[in-house]
Amino acid sequence: MPKASLITRDLTDLTKETDNIYKSIVIAGKRSRQISSRLKDELQAKLSEFATTVDNLEEVQENREQIEISRFYERMPKATTLAVEELIEDKIFFTNVEDRSY
């Protein structure tokens, strides 16, 4: 079983752009969903190359390359971790709806 790694974050790092922890969490959450969706699409595209139309289990063979692709995506950092890192490093562009003038 892999060892879980926890990172303690300073709240001032998370709130330096928004000055509000709740806004920061919402921004990181939305970015996390974007990252997760993109990774899921990438994985499905790569695995679709191995799709078979065979229904017989005896004819389906183990594919090493398919297993390695799956393992690669399993070992990647979670989308939430990537989103929080992007937020801390100011790599996320966001706008406040309250600041817009119509």
pLDDT digits (tens, 9 = 90+) for 21-79: 999 999 999 999 999 999 999 999 988 887 766 655 554 566 788 888 989 999 999 99
pLDDT recorded at residue 100: 65
pLDDT band, very low/low/confident/very high, at 101 (cuts 50, 70, 90): low
| pTM as predicted | 0.78
The arithmetic mean of pLDDT across residues 10-27, rounded, is 92
Cα→Cα distances 24→15, 46, 82, Å: 6, 33, 14
What the block records as the tokens of 81 is 């971790």
Question: Which is more confident, 4 or 6?
Answer: 6
Lowest-confidence region among 10-19, 82-91, 93-102: 93-102
